[in-house]
Amino acid sequence: DTEVTQTPKHLVMGMTNKKSLKCEQHMGHRAMYWYKQKAKKPPELMFVYSYEKLSINESVPSRFSPECPNSSLLNLHLHALQPEDSALYLCASSQAGGTEAFFGQGTRLTVV
């Protein structure tokens, strides 16, 4: 099973809303990632969790708040977003030693 599941698939939120994106994997991976992807651009790394601890934050604005409740789950809490934050948000997981990463299908986020 090489599946990473993301919910919801689509999300529309206002600039004053608070919402969360969720990601789950059951591959026993101990590294989990959040990426942001704009149209016709490659994915951009936002956060990395390794063994449930935040190991990389790519200077992401504080309106994005990641959380890793356990080794299978990864959340991204969103608050006071801007229209330019509209994008495809991708979750991925890999072995902690840095083997290939497997991506979820993404959440298409629109901020209005």
Partner 1 sequence: EDQVTQSPEALRLQEGESSSLNCSYTVSGLRGLFWYRQDPGKGPEFLFTLYSAGEEKEKERLKATLTKKESFLHITAPKPEDSATYLCAVQKNTGFQKLVFGTGTRLLVSP
Residues that bind partner 1 (CB under 8 A): 2, 4, 6, 31, 33, 41-43, 45, 48, 50, 55-56, 88, 90, 92, 94, 98-106, 108
- Specify whether the CB–CB gap between 103 and 42 falls below 8 A: no
- Smaller CB distance to partner 1: residue 68 or 92? 92
Instruction: Kindly report the number of other CB atoms within 10 A of residue 90's CB atom.
Output: 24
Report, in Å, the least distance between residue 92 CB and partner 1.
Answer: 8
Report, in Å, the least distance between residue 1 CB and partner 1.
Answer: 13
Q: How far apart are CA 85 and CA 59, in angstroms?
A: 14
Report, in Å, the least distance between residue 105 CB and partner 1.
Answer: 5
Report, in Å, the least distance between residue 90 CB and partner 1.
Answer: 5
Instruction: Kindly report the number of other CB atoms within 10 A of residue 86's CB atom.
Output: 18
- Smaller CB distance to partner 1: residue 45 or 60? 45
**What are the phi and psi torsion angles at 27 (to 5°)?**
-100, 5
- Specify whether the CB–CB gap between 86 and 78 falls below 8 A: no
The tokens describing 77, both together, are 């809490």
- Smaller CB distance to partner 1: residue 54 or 112? 54
- Smaller CB distance to partner 1: residue 16 or 95? 95
